Amino acid sequence: RILILDFGSQYSQLIARRVREAGVYCELHAHDLAPETIRGFAPRGVILSGSHRSVSEEDAPMVDPEVFSLGVPVLGLCYGMQVMAAQLGGQVSAADHKEYGYAQVRARGHSRLLRDIEDHASPEGYGLLDVWMSHGDCVTDLPTGFQVIGETDNAPYAGIADEARGLYGLQFHPEVTHTRQGQRILDRFVHEICGCGRAWTPGNIIAERLEQVRQSVGAEQVLLGLSGGVDSAVVAALLHKAIGAQLVCVFVDNGLLRLDEADQVMRTFARHMGVRVIRVDAERRFLERLHGVEDPEQKRKVIGNTFIDIFDDEASKLEGVKWLAQGTIYPDVIESAGARTGKARVIKSHHNVAGLPEQMNLKLLEPLRDLFKDEVRQIGIELGLPSEMVYRHPFPGPGLGVRILGEVTKAAADTLRQADQIFIEELRRADLYDQVSQAFAVYLPVRSVGVVGDNRQYEPVIALRAVETIDFMTARWAHLPYDFLDLVCRRIVNEVKGISRVVYDITGKPPGTIEWE
Ligand code: XMP
């Protein structure tokens, strides 16, 4: 396994995902991890991430020097390379030319890390690599024992190595896809240099999890809240396979789900897979509590609290349940760990668990806790979940509650469901669904005038939103074809009663958020 020490770069999680894609287990931890913890982790290799900080700052983040004498290979990326150079006696200075974006690296042929990896061959016998750079500082003096393994016009030390000690540094980011040979470089590091095998595969992960779950749970019963989202769906499939009828799921239909969603969840789990699912139809209860509530945060609170109340009611009717299962995944863990140390950028609140009553005394079961979303999806497919469910766009916990601006009513929810369904159906038909990261319709209660047939109408507006993003922290609006938008608009105006105007949202994030509330 590989240890990644995080200096807070926006790409740190990406490094971990790439290492996992190479079939190697890794964990991401804060850069100041204590040496005894590092030794306990027993990594086969260490990767130091990038950072928005500068090594020349007074309190620049460092790693414990023991990292370099563990006897395992270390790869520093960007800031990680600079900090390695600085900590081992080299020099780092502000670069004359900051480099952001595309650059071409001339790779020297002899290094173990970059040998035979190239995008183009150069007449001078170098391998040329197209890479993604993002740095303001540069290594200007190498520590003893290091050699140059790559350079650019602006960075004489774009790659460095002390082959004898297994220490490597790259000024560019192999973890981003703009660095075309990035995955090969990381593969080379983890497999050939660190000697890790390719044991981290969906099949192995499932086999290991099944065993762990059976071991910890024994003959006891497990409760799981199904949301319709990917994570809880995969937990359900996994636990069902591990412990069969010892799993009880509760699924709350809050009336704020997408068209047919509740029935689909019941079909997949209860009917096809034979999972025990208790369905609670709570539309009225949610809508009653939401009556007159207009403030977005207040709506989120009401929906979260109502959910907890209902879940509690159902849970307390069940006897002998000892475990509560949750679809926590690795980014949630990383983000909440970051939140404690003040490093997180975004914190998602997991309203569906936070408030469970203490006296339930349930033990927590989180079988996906160390997996990334793409790994969770692969496992879902391997466990036989339908791919429309596994590759569905994310859907917020408060559901349509935050897509109906202002007060939530049943009429608005029904209208929005229809419009949303048309948009999604057409995206699928045009093969655009998988090309956007998230797409949905929003119900705007402002009224606008329209003419349908010979009749003047004065009705609410539907906004369409579609974005492309990797991490949902920043996003660009999807440049959907005009003809496609035209088709969707016509269908909505013709088929959804009470809508005579459709608009398309062209706001990026930032400054907009993805959701409208
Ligand atoms: P924003 O709107 O903050 O959304 O740009 C980023 C991602 O998070 C989802 N989202 C939520 N998910 N509860 C959730 O479980 C929420 O309250 C919530 N608000 C936003 C949103 O759909 C997008 O994928």
- Same domain for 256 and 120: no
Query: What are the pocket residues of ligand 1 if the criterion is a CB atom closer than 6 Å to any ligand atom?
Result: 300, 394, 396-398, 438, 472, 509, 513-515
* Average pLDDT of the segment spanning 357-377: 85
- Residue 276 φ/ψ, nearest 5 degrees: -75, 110
Q: Considering the domain boundaries, does residue 177 fall inside one? A: yes
Q: Considering the domain boundaries, does residue 516 fall inside one? A: no
- What does the DSSP assignment read for 357-404? -GGG-PEEE-TTTT--HHHHHHHHHHTT--HHHHTPPP--TTGGGGTB
**What percentage of the chain has pLDDT greater than the value 90?**
82
The least confident of 15-19, 236-240, 448-452, 481-485 is 448-452
242-297 confidence digits (pLDDT tens): 999 999 999 999 999 999 999 999 999 999 999 999 999 999 999 999 999 999 99
- Same domain for 377 and 428: no
Instruction: Mark which of 390, 425, 450 sits at the end of a domain.
Output: 390
* Average pLDDT of the segment spanning 61-75: 97
Q: Considering the domain boundaries, does residue 398 fall inside one? A: no
Q: What is the pLDDT of residue 343?
A: 42
Q: What is the pLDDT of residue 228?
A: 86
- Same domain for 148 and 32: yes
Residue 191: band (very low, low, confident or very high) from pLDDT cuts 50, 70, 90: very high
- Same domain for 228 and 138: no
- Helix axis angle, 373-382 relative to 230-243, nearest 10°? 50
The residue type of 350 is H
The span from the CA of 258 to the CA of 440, in Å, is: 10
Best substitution site from 305, 402, 514, 517 to test ligand 1's pocket, by max atoms within 8 Å of Cβ? 514
b (16+ CB within 10 A) / e for 243-280: beebbbbbbbbbbbbbbebbebbbebbbeebebbbbbb
* Ligand 1: centre distance to CA 309 (Å): 22
Q: What is the pLDDT of residue 360?
A: 60
- Same domain for 30 and 135: yes
Flag whether 253 is marked binding. Answer: no
Q: What is the pLDDT of residue 275?
A: 97
Complex-level ipTM beyond the 0.90 threshold:
yes
- Same domain for 345 and 380: yes
Give nearest CA residue, ligand 1 atom 4: 514
Flag whether 228 is marked binding. Answer: yes
- Same domain for 219 and 354: yes
Q: What is the pLDDT of residue 49?
A: 97
Q: Considering the domain boundaries, does residue 498 fall inside one? A: yes
The least confident of 108-112, 239-243, 425-429, 485-489 is 108-112
* Ligand 1: centre distance to CA 396 (Å): 5
Instruction: Mark which of 193, 216, 246 sits at the end of a domain.
Output: 193
Atom of ligand 1 nearest to the CA of 437: 24
Q: Considering the domain boundaries, does residue 397 fall inside one? A: no
Beta bridge partners of 281: 253
The span from the CA of 408 to the CA of 283, in Å, is: 12
- Same domain for 356 and 285: yes
* Ligand 1: centre distance to CA 515 (Å): 6
Taken in order 191, 135, 470, 413, the sign of the CA dihedral is positive
The span from the CA of 108 to the CA of 114, in Å, is: 8
Relative to beta strand 74-77, strand 167-170 is: parallel
Q: Considering the domain boundaries, does residue 29 fall inside one? A: yes
- Same domain for 252 and 137: no
312-344 confidence digits (pLDDT tens): 889 889 888 999 999 999 988 887 665 444 343
* Ligand 1: centre distance to CA 476 (Å): 15
What are the CB-based long-range contacts (under 8 Å, 24+) for 420-427? 420/258, 420/259, 421/258, 421/259, 421/260, 422/488, 422/491, 422/492, 422/495, 422/496, 423/464, 423/488, 423/492, 424/258, 426/484, 426/487, 426/488, 426/491, 427/466
- Same domain for 355 and 273: yes
Q: Considering the domain boundaries, does residue 511 fall inside one? A: no
CATH number at residue 448: 3.30.300.10
What are the CB-based long-range contacts (under 8 Å, 24+) for 275-278? 275/236, 275/240, 275/247, 275/249, 276/245, 276/247, 276/248, 276/249, 277/226, 277/249, 277/250, 277/251, 278/248, 278/249, 278/250, 278/251, 278/314
Q: Considering the domain boundaries, does residue 278 fall inside one? A: yes
Flag whether 230 is marked binding. Answer: yes
CATH number at residue 379: 3.40.50.620
Query: Residue 231 pLDDT > 90, yes or no?
Result: yes
Instruction: Mark which of 140, 160, 193 sits at the end of a domain.
Output: 193
Q: How many domains does the chain have?
A: 3
Q: Give me the domain span that covers residue 256.
A: 202-390
106-141 confidence digits (pLDDT tens): 998 789 999 999 999 888 888 999 999 988 899 999
Averaged confidence pLDDT in the chain: 92
- Same domain for 278 and 146: no
- Same domain for 293 and 177: no
* Average pLDDT of the segment spanning 216-222: 96
Query: Residue 351 pLDDT > 60, yes or no?
Result: no
Residue 359: band (very low, low, confident or very high) from pLDDT cuts 50, 70, 90: low
CATH number at residue 79: 3.40.50.880
Q: How far is CA 230 from each of CA 18, 61, 247, 350, rounded to the nearest angstrom? A: 21, 36, 18, 15
Query: Residue 345 pLDDT > 80, yes or no?
Result: no
